[in-house]
Amino acid sequence: MSAVPILFLQLIAILGVARLLSALLRHVHQPPVIGEMLTGIVLGPLVFGWLAPEWQGILFAPESLSALEGLSELGLVLFMFVVGAELRLPGGARRHLGASGAIGLACVLLPCALGLAIAPYLHERFAPQGVTFWPFALFMAASLSITAFPVMARILKERGMTESVEGRLALTSAAFANLLAGFVIALVLVLVSSRNGWQSFAMTVIGSVVLGGLALGALRPALARGFEKHAEDGRPTAAMLGLLLILVFAAAAATRALGLHEVFGAFLIGAILPRDNRLLACLVERIEHLAVIVLMPVFFALAGLHMSADAFVGAGLLALGLVLAAAMGGQMVGGTLGARLSGLAWPQALSVGALMNARGLMELIVMKIGLDMGVIDNAIFTMLMIMAVGTTLMTTPLLVLFGRLGQSNQPVAQAVRTTRSLP
């Protein structure tokens, strides 16, 4: 069978399974993105490959995946642009930045410490050949510190907790934590680039600084002037949208050429866009539908195809246990203690810990970066995938449990008066 019919069959299978699982999980009050995450596991070697290995091998033969990989990368770049464009502090967040900063810092430092603690065992048994200890260890530390900001926002909205104390603090804390973890991941990629010599290392560092400076110093004001001048009734024109996509792809290509991952460039362009709410919302809406509904399920499916059925042979089960313990212990304990020290009652603090423990899509993106750049292998990727799905699945049940312990939904203004802001 030629490549085009195979591609269409692959897309039918991916989108069909994703929509089915999302619909089923919606009935048990889980966010649809979990169904899309499970799509990769279902269509990959752990389920489809185990139940019908011949059919799975025909439908997803390695030589037929190049088109899917291109669609996956496109979806990832567009999605990270959307994440950057929508990145902003929740309303009223500035009034309790101290508490949010403390929680975010705790949810980075503790998982990082636990990640570094288990790294020697994992590096000795699972690190790809040629990857030295510190890039591997720092990547593991950062990957355990990621919080699912978009998924968290969706969970809070569906549970009516967006205006609650724990909801506002968790969202702001997650933004802080993910920015800190992103810096660590960028550092890892810079260290990986140094394997090609210090000249390559210097090019990555200098090029990244120059690119960031150009984006903030020249491109951001130019975009602000252009949007104000050429928007029609507050809506973007086709020319504006086309120019914006060119900038996104150019920045993605530039960061990849510098030795970083393309998602950093896409995120950068989204983050520097003018915060005109109507114009930005229109831009994001036009791009988000294609990225989220069509392309991101392809990304999830390919992530599942990268999983290894042999990951749990030998030392794999113990390694999975260590990853799960470090991930859940780090974020749950870090988030809960950070919130408790900031003045929240135990039920609210536990809810913050449960929200910070959700990994979701952001974790998969980080895992894909590590796999693409050769920092981790398929076995570690498989363990992190299971951790990401598991921690996201448990978020809603934990919120229900902690809510029964006396969850409060007081307004943020009242919460600030009872919350001790940390320096």
H-helix or E-strand containing 255?
A: helix 238-257
Give 409: exposed, middle or buried? Use CB within 10 Å, 0-12, 13-18, 19+.
middle
> What is the C-alpha separation between 212 and 27, in angstroms, rounded?
44
Percent of the chain with pLDDT over 90: 44
The two three-digit tokens of residue 200, written as one number: 């390559």
What does the mean pLDDT of the chain come to? 85
SS (H, E, C) 138-149: HHHHHHCCCCCH
Q: How far is CA 415 from CA 26, 109, 336, 408, in A?
A: 31, 25, 16, 10
Q: With contact defined as beta carbons under 8 Å apart, do 45 and 305 qualify? A: yes
Mean pLDDT confidence for 372-376: 90
Please give the backbone phi and psi of residue 46, each rounded to the nearest 5 degrees, phi first: -75, -25
Mean pLDDT confidence for 256-279: 85
Q: With contact defined as beta carbons under 8 Å apart, do 186 and 264 qualify? A: yes
> What is the C-alpha separation between 243 and 98, in angstroms, rounded?
39
DSSP state of 234: T
> What is the C-alpha separation between 360 and 389, in angstroms, rounded?
7
Question: Tell me: the pLDDT tens digits for 163-208?
Answer: 788 888 888 888 888 888 888 888 888 777 666 667 777 888 889 8
Q: With contact defined as beta carbons under 8 Å apart, do 267 and 80 qualify? A: yes
Q: How far is CA 185 from CA 91, 96, 234, in A?
A: 28, 27, 37
Give the pLDDT score at 93. 54
The two three-digit tokens of residue 97, written as one number: 């930045």
Instruction: Give the chain's domains with CATH numbers.
Output: 3-418 (1.20.1530.20)
> Strands, E, within 295-373: which ranges?
none
Q: For 189, what's the count of Cα atoms within 13 Å in the CB-facing half-sphere?
A: 28
Mean pLDDT confidence for 39-47: 93
Q: With contact defined as beta carbons under 8 Å apart, do 284 and 86 qualify? A: yes
235 pairs with which residues across the strands? 232
> What is the C-alpha separation between 178 and 172, in angstroms, rounded?
10
Question: Tell me: the pLDDT tens digits for 89-146?
Answer: 555 555 667 788 889 899 999 999 999 999 999 999 999 998 999 999 999 999 999 9
Q: With contact defined as beta carbons under 8 Å apart, do 400 and 329 qualify? A: no
Give the pLDDT score at 195. 65
Give the pLDDT score at 260. 82
Judged against a pLDDT cut of 60, whether residue 74 lies above it is answered with yes
How long, in residues, is the chain? 423
Judged against a pLDDT cut of 90, whether residue 326 lies above it is answered with yes
Give the pLDDT score at 95. 61
The two three-digit tokens of residue 47, written as one number: 């389920």
Question: Tell me: the pLDDT tens digits for 292-312?
Answer: 888 989 999 999 999 988 888
Q: How far is CA 54 from CA 324, 340, 375, in A?
A: 32, 53, 31
Give the pLDDT score at 415. 47
Q: With contact defined as beta carbons under 8 Å apart, do 92 and 413 qualify? A: yes
Q: Residue 336: what residue type?
A: T
Q: Which residues contact 388 (CB under 8 A, 6 or more apart)?
A: 37, 359, 360, 363, 364, 367
Q: For 286, what's the count of Cα atoms within 13 Å in the CB-facing half-sphere?
A: 14
Q: Which residue has the higher pLDDT, 345 or 235?
A: 345
Q: With contact defined as beta carbons under 8 Å apart, do 408 and 345 qualify? A: yes
The two three-digit tokens of residue 237, written as one number: 């024109």
Q: With contact defined as beta carbons under 8 Å apart, do 182 and 268 qualify? A: no
Q: With contact defined as beta carbons under 8 Å apart, do 39 and 68 qualify? A: no
